[in-house]
Chains A and B, each alone.
Chain A
């Protein structure tokens, strides 16, 4: 059976990947561990929250970057003390206990996610995409304009205030790497678990047949709202890791550029499989790091197109959407001759019709 062979190959690759990830500080240099791998893990978690919604709920959300940033901004406002590690930084400078702040930031973002989810829950497909994009842009302007909580300069010095069980991640970057790795594994496992529960199965049911599920008595908007809330929780985890990693957060981190970058990550990885989140994140960050000032950008100048890294990432994105809309994971599935939905996980999200009324 091709399917069995594929599963074995994937497990093997997964195990090798995990071993390499665990031994990464021994294999790679400090720059690679901190900048490439840790960042890929964190971005991967945000992308996983997007892919979870698209693969199992049929909802492509552009609000995940904003939700990620919301957790970071909340945490920054709560933990930073005035005149502390960030200097005279923006924000409320509440100086609360780091553990309490951490819990409140995760909780607050999840509640916000539930609220946003409830508002968008009656829409699907392209409408959902548009509504969540509006959330994202409004979130950006809110954080930017309301100088009380951040303003355009943002909040700095956040990673100096971590709970004691997290430790000094501002200096011990390997520690942060392992924390991010642990969270990423838990997130992956949690999603794989959730989609096998009755809730997860119902979610996949209303992805494929919302009208039928509705007539069977399932509360469609409620399921979508809860799924969006769960995704917001995942995004909040990555938001906390992100501010610990970067130390600061500014509206630029959740602007439309970052929103689209995350979509690019998810699409490169593949919108139908969770593994794609980290595959896409690693690919994107590698391109970002090594193509930015390489022969490829100079080639653009030579052929008279001009432009920078973003033209290349746009072209890569365009080619992927044109050639393999399920991204690298979809291409991988097709390699095994099983079509885009190797695991019987339903139709490709890119073919979902818009806006059925439910």
Chain B
């Protein structure tokens, strides 16, 4: 204990106290709203101690949102990790995926407007999702081959190119898909119910649990692919040392193309899930680019584990700060929830700029 490294201690103490304070506040300190007035202890539901069910619902909302975040951000992270390409059009691929699935589902079962869940069977959701993933995967392949393949290593230029592409896609979506209106894909009918969760004691939307399930499946699939197949092995080798991998006779260009297709398809699949959960609308491309950025900056670029950790943290902070901020006074405080995203980001940047699981190249 002779020499405590203060530079290591300060961040740990800061984060420790902050987390402890937040946990304490949510667990016991917060109070449910009284009939009149309120104080810094007043929140919408009170603490977990007061209102266990609302607490669990908020937790599950955070987890399910994290599932969607992971689907989208893992694709972003995969592309960056291997190719050092920051795909600024990732949010546009999300948007495009949602709209393509909407169009396909309308062709299969719709009549021009939002379809009732009872009219959709599993196949009528799965096929639009697959078509969207395939179409956007192809779009991604074209973008990579035509615009990014010949200028590898010029990272900023590649980012600018994808920004230009995202500007064009955003405008084209507005022009060609459903008049640029917000559009929903409909979940299969059997998901449209609440399930009773034993032990926790609440009823919770099955569709939202499926989002979490899909997120876990994507994670498992990616893990099996990256750690149990030959292509995955090559990708991991490429992430570690691109030159050496290609010097060993591996066709790195083919690997790049595969990774870009998979990454783009994941954005599109996320878009389908997002469009089923709520709706896709013009403008969400920027929002989902931000979401992907926040997740990978927190978790560390190019790391699967990092994408999972980043999604989890961001999802939970997003969900809890919307409900567990003090509500004292008129129109107070829950509107500040965006600040907590920033605080999370600032803490990571200040104390661990490479992200929780990231490495500097």
On whether the beta carbons of A354 and B84 are closer than 8 Å, the reply is: yes
Provide the A336-358 mask, 1 if CB < 8 A to any CB of B, else 0: 00000000000001111111110
On whether the beta carbons of B147 and A322 are closer than 8 Å, the reply is: yes
Residue of B nearest to A145 (CB): B335
B218 at the A interface (CB under 8 A): no
On whether the beta carbons of A350 and B286 are closer than 8 Å, the reply is: no
* A interface secondary structure, majority: helix
Residue of A nearest to B155 (CB): A126
B170 at the A interface (CB under 8 A): yes
On whether the beta carbons of B172 and A307 are closer than 8 Å, the reply is: yes
A195 at the B interface (CB under 8 A): no
On whether the beta carbons of A314 and B167 are closer than 8 Å, the reply is: yes
For chain B, the bracket of interface size reads 35 or more
Which of A130, A131, A307, A317 contacts B175, CB < 8 Å? A307
- Which residues of chain B come closer than 8 Å to A9, judged between CB atoms? none
Known: A137-B286, A145-B335, A314-B168. A321 touches B350 (CB 8 A): no
Among the stretches B93-101, B126-134, B265-273, B337-345, the one at the interface with A is: B337-345
- Which residues of chain A come closer than 8 Å to B335, judged between CB atoms? 145-148
Chain A residues 298 to 336 lying within 8 A of chain B, measured CB to CB, are: 305-311, 313-315, 317-318, 321-322, 325
On whether the beta carbons of B361 and A310 are closer than 8 Å, the reply is: no
Q: How many A-B residue pairs have CB under 8 A?
A: 137
Among the stretches B11-19, B202-210, B289-297, the one at the interface with A is: B289-297
- Which residues of chain B come closer than 8 Å to A210, judged between CB atoms? none
On whether the beta carbons of B342 and A138 are closer than 8 Å, the reply is: yes
Residue of B nearest to A119 (CB): B349
- Which residues of chain B come closer than 8 Å to A24, judged between CB atoms? none
- A354–B86 CA distance with the chains assembled, in angstroms: 11
- Which residues of chain A come closer than 8 Å to B336, judged between CB atoms? 145-146
Give the Cβ gap from A105 to chain B, nearest Cβ, in Å. Answer: 20
B123 at the A interface (CB under 8 A): no
- Which residues of chain B come closer than 8 Å to A39, judged between CB atoms? none
* B interface secondary structure, majority: helix
Residue of B nearest to A351 (CB): B154
Among the stretches A43-51, A94-102, A255-263, the one at the interface with B is: A255-263
- A131–B349 CA distance with the chains assembled, in angstroms: 9
Known: A307-B171, A311-B171. A325 touches B160 (CB 8 A): yes
- A185–B160 CA distance with the chains assembled, in angstroms: 29
Which of A138, A311, A315, A350 contacts B341, CB < 8 Å? A138
- A314–B147 CA distance with the chains assembled, in angstroms: 14
On whether the beta carbons of B164 and A318 are closer than 8 Å, the reply is: yes
Residue of A nearest to B157 (CB): A350
Known: A138-B338, A147-B335, A350-B157. A306 touches B353 (CB 8 A): no
B346 at the A interface (CB under 8 A): yes
For chain A, the bracket of interface size reads 35 or more
Which of B147, B168, B172, B293 contacts A130, CB < 8 Å? B293
On whether the beta carbons of B163 and A317 are closer than 8 Å, the reply is: yes
Chain B residues 321 to 351 lying within 8 A of chain A, measured CB to CB, are: 331, 335-339, 341-342, 345-346, 349-350
A141 at the B interface (CB under 8 A): yes
- Which residues of chain A come closer than 8 Å to B331, judged between CB atoms? 147-148
On whether the beta carbons of A125 and B338 are closer than 8 Å, the reply is: no
| 14 A–B contacts, CB within 8 A, in A order | A126-B155, A126-B156, A130-B86, A133-B293, A255-B286, A260-B166, A306-B175, A306-B176, A307-B174, A310-B171, A311-B168, A350-B154, A351-B154, A352-B155
| B binding-site residues for A, Cβ under 8 Å | 84, 86, 147, 153-157, 159-161, 163-168, 170-172, 174-176, 286-287, 289-290, 293-294, 297, 301, 331, 335-339, 341-342, 345-346, 349-350, 353-354, 360-361
Closest 9 CB pairs of A and B: A314-B167, A256-B286, A314-B168, A318-B164, A310-B171, A306-B175, A350-B157, A317-B164, A137-B290
| A binding-site residues for B, Cβ under 8 Å | 60, 119-120, 122-123, 125-127, 129-131, 133-134, 137-138, 141-142, 145-148, 255-257, 260, 263-264, 267, 305-311, 313-315, 317-318, 321-322, 325, 349-357
Q: List 4 extra interface pairs beyond A126-B84, A148-B335, A307-B174, CB under 8 A.
A: A256-B286, A260-B166, A317-B167, A351-B154
